[in-house]
Structure formats: C-alpha cells, structure tokens
C-alpha cells in the first residue's frame, strides 16, 4: 500500500491525541492518559472505514493501551490486522502514535511570562445569584452544612437564579433522584420552569468526568452544580489524594461549579467541609449553611443562615439569611435579617450584630457591649476598623461619644 499522509494532533476538548490517515478512513485516538507504575496508559480507540473491516460502526477496537510497552504495540497490531483484514502496517502505526504521544506528554505546555497572561475580567467572573451571594464563572465554590439543612434545595434555587440570568446550568446529582428535583423545580418556579439539565451520576466524579465534559460541550453549559461531594468521591473524603483527584477531574470539565458538601459535629465543623482540609483549600470560595432552631409550631417555615468562610477572589461577604416557606404547591425563598434569629445571630460577626443593634439609634460602647454580651475592648476594636465605612462616632450631650451607623448621623 502506498505511503499514506498522517496528521497527528492533540484533542484539547478531551485531553488526548489523534493520529489520522484521512485517505484511508483510519484514526487512532488515545484519551484518558495517566501514569501507572511509571508507564503511560491510555484508552485507545481505533476506527477504520476500509472495505472488509469487521467492526461495529467502523470501530475496530476500544481498550486500555500501554503506550510505554513495545510488546503491547506488537500484540495490539496483530489484533487490529485480524479484525480489519486491511493491508495496513498496524504495528508501525501504533509505534508512530506512541512516539508522538510520549514526546508530546514530555514536552507539555511551554513556559510563558506571567506578565503576558491576560488579566481576568473580575466583573465577568462574578455570578451574583442573590444580593450578597457570589458564585464564580471559572472556579469551584463549596456550600457545606449538616444533613437536613436544605443544601440541595439551595443549590437548585441558585441554579434557577443563574438560569433566569441567561446561563445554561447543569445539575449533576449523586444522591437524590430526577423526579424529586423536578418536583422541587416546579415548586420553586411554578409551571414556567427554566431550562436546567439534569445529570444522574452513579460513579465517582473521576469516572464520570468524560461524560460530564461531553455533556457540557454538547449542551454548551456555563455552570455545573455537583450534589454531593461525599458521594462523588472516589474513596474516603478524609484522604488528601481523594480531594486532589476530585479537583483535578473538575478542572478538566472546565466550567464554574458549585459543590454541595457535608460537615461534622466537631467544634470547628462550621469552618470547613467534612473530610480532608483540601476540600476547603481547593475551593475558591466556601459557604457554611445553618438552619435556625424553630421557635414556633409552624413546621412549614425554616430560617437558614449562610456564612462566607473563605474567599480567594475578594473580601468575605456578610452573612445572609433566607426564610424558606413550604406551601402546598410552592416553595418560596425570602431574605431575612439573621440578627432577628437568636441562635443564628450568635454566629454573625460582631460588626454585623452591632449594625443591626444600632439601627435603633446610637449607643455608648458600654451599652453596645452589654446588649451583645461581648467585651468593651472588642466593641472598640470593631468600631475602629469600621469607622468611616459602617460606623461613625456621635458626640453626646454628656460628653460621652456614642457609636452610630454611618448613614444615621442624626441619631442622638
């Protein structure tokens, strides 16, 4: 057979490579590359459209392949020759493919000057799903809390807000069911439900990543919600390598994402998601969610507090609250002031508690400290940090300064 023109190229959309012989209708694709015991392994797919080929849909073979092994090239070449019945030097093509791939993997991406990298457009990266709640278009955000604290409901609610803003959103679900989310969606939005792509997942994220990448690409998704981390982990969440593998797989998907996670009953359980500290470290922003203790007999309403525990792309956001009402046909979210919910107010930073208290008028530092149950020194430090931004000192008739809100200087 005459020499055929070859075209070797990377496949950036799937992290792989292809060797194509267009005039012979033949392609060799290798994807899902990884190192095992120092050897380069990948999933090799060989297609051939030549007459006499014995294959479904023109695909001769799909199987893992050791690109570092000379014996593997010979054995696979014999299999391809048997199945194709075509006068092709399969062993030679595999040798060529392996050399190209190994050289490309060793070369990798070139180093570049950091100053030549374009600056991110912060405004484009911000996705404000609600006043004070920012998700990120290019980075992972984690929402974590105890079981029963409506994390999945919040994830779905935020998805509808993103969809209403014109984004195409996917909901990858490891622990619930499509019909249940469908019911929640209609309760949130009524019959005029936005487009949300539901993806039921049964395997860990590292095994689902190729399918998710394909769906993101084919449906042109802008954002992905993953519910939840514990069920999507390929091993115990406490292991650092499990968290690392999760975030590496996530990076391959290539869109901004929200990850629902759990917490522990430990004293610092409200600081980081359950498991390895790398779940917290790998997220660019984390939010802790806490349900308020009900003080009434109305079980159809609950109060949720959300507390920003980490932000790598700006200052921490103030805590916010939701009142969630479960009606016969609809579920509604409304913003509330957490300072009005005693057990959640205790979790607010002192400056927020002070701001809520001072809405009723300016007070001396001693009075503020007494009302909030914190030392006067803490009130003094908080005032100094927020003076000119949130607070203002108001002179009193008795010669003692009061602390007031910046926009309430006329309060005596």
What is the rounded average pLDDT of the residues 18-46? Answer: 92
Do 255 and 370 lie in a common domain? no
pTM equals: 0.79
Q: Indicate the residue among 107, 134, 157 that finishes a domain.
A: 107
Q: Indicate the residue among 107, 132, 156 that finishes a domain.
A: 107
3-state secondary structure of 268: coil
Decide if pLDDT at 410 tops 50: no
Do 339 and 381 lie in a common domain? no
Do 85 and 137 lie in a common domain? no
Let me know if residue 117 belongs to a domain: no
- Distances, alpha carbon 361 to alpha carbons 162, 348, 381, 387, in Å: 38, 20, 20, 16
For residue 357 the two structure tokens come to 């208290």
User: CATH number for the domain including 248?
Assistant: 3.40.50.300
Contacts of 246 (CB under 8 A, 6+ apart): 205, 206, 229, 232, 233, 234, 282
Do 283 and 363 lie in a common domain? no
What is the rounded average pLDDT of the residues 63-71? Answer: 96
Higher pLDDT, 13 or 398: 398
Q: Indicate the residue among 325, 345, 365 that finishes a domain.
A: 345
Do 76 and 172 lie in a common domain? no
Phi and psi at residue 33, to the nearest 5°: -70, 140
**DSSP designation for 152:** H
Do 294 and 336 lie in a common domain? yes
Let me know if residue 84 belongs to a domain: yes
3-state secondary structure of 205: helix
Q: Quote the pLDDT of residue 267.
A: 63
Let me know if residue 113 belongs to a domain: no
Residue 295 — pLDDT band, cuts 50, 70, 90?
A: low
Q: Quote the pLDDT of residue 84.
A: 86
What is the rounded average pLDDT of the residues 292-309? Answer: 82
Q: Give the integer Cα–Cα distance in Å for 248 and 206.
A: 8
Let me know if residue 191 belongs to a domain: yes
Let me know if residue 115 belongs to a domain: no
Let me know if residue 137 belongs to a domain: yes
Do 139 and 173 lie in a common domain? yes
Enclosing domain of residue 75: 7-107
Do 102 and 61 lie in a common domain? yes
Let me know if residue 410 belongs to a domain: no
Let me know if residue 401 belongs to a domain: yes
Do 172 and 239 lie in a common domain? yes
Q: Quote the pLDDT of residue 1.
A: 47
Decide if pLDDT at 121 tops 80: no
**DSSP designation for 387:** B
Do 265 and 366 lie in a common domain? no
Q: Which residue blocks in 108-256 are alpha helix, DSSP H?
A: 122-125, 151-164, 178-189, 205-219, 229-232, 240-253
Do 191 and 132 lie in a common domain? yes
Do 187 and 94 lie in a common domain? no
Residue 25, sorted as left (phi over 0), alpha (psi -120 to 50) or beta, turns out to be left
Domain count within the chain: 3
User: CATH number for the domain including 374?
Assistant: 1.10.10.10
Residue 412 — pLDDT band, cuts 50, 70, 90?
A: very low
What is the rounded average pLDDT of the residues 44-72? Answer: 88
Write out pLDDT tens, residues 157-206.
999 999 999 999 999 999 999 999 999 999 999 999 999 999 999 999 99
CA angle 23, 26, 32 (to 5 degrees): 140
């Amino acid at each position: 057979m005459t020499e055929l023109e070859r075209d070797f190229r990377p496949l950036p959309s799937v992290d792989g490579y292809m060797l194509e012989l267009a005039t012979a209708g033949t392609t060799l694709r290798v994807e899902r590359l990884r190192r095992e015991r120092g050897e380069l392994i990948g999933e090799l797919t060989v297609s051939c459209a030549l007459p006499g080929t014995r294959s479904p849909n023109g695909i001769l073979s799909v199987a893992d392949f050791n690109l570092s092994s000379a014996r593997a090239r010979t054995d696979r070449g014999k299999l391809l020759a048997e199945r194709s019945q075509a006068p092709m030097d399969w062993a030679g093509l595999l040798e060529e493919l392996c050399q190209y791939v190994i050289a490309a993997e060793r070369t990798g991406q070139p180093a570049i000057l950091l100053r030549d990298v374009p600056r991110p457009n912060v405004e484009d990266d911000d996705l404000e799903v609600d006043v004070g709640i920012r998700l990120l278009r290019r980075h992972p955000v984690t929402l974590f809390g105890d079981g029963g604290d409506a994390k999945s409901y919040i994830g779905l609610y935020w998805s509808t807000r993103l969809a209403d803003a014109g984004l195409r959103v996917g909901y990858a679900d490891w622990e619930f069911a499509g019909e249940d989310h469908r019911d929640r969606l209609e309760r949130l939005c009524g019959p005029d439900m936005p487009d949300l792509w539901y993806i039921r997942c049964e395997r860990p994220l590292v095994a689902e990543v190729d399918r998710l990448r394909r769906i993101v690409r084919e449906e042109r998704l802008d954002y992905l919600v993953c519910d939840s981390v514990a069920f999507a982990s390929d091993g115990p969440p406490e292991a650092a390598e499990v968290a690392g593998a999760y975030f590496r797989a996530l990076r391959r998907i290539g869109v901004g994402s929200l990850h629902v996670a759990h917490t522990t009953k430990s004293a610092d359980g409200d600081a980081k998601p359950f498991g390895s500290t790398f779940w917290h470290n790998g997220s660019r922003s984390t939010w802790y969610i806490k349900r308020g203790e009900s003080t009434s007999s109305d079980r159809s309403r609950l109060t949720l507090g959300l507390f920003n525990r980490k932000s790598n792309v700006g200052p921490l956001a103030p805590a916010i609250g939701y009142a969630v009402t479960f009606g016969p046909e609809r579920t509604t979210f409304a913003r509330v002031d957490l300072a009005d919910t005693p057990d959640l107010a205790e979790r607010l930073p002192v400056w927020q508690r002070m701001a809520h208290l001072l809405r009723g008028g300016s007070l001396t530092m001693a009075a503020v400290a007494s009302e909030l149950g914190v030392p006067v020194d803490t009130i003094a430090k908080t005032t100094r940090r927020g003076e000119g931004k949130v607070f203002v000192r108001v002179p009193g008739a008795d010669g003692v300064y009061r602390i007031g809100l910046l926009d309430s200087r006329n309060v005596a």
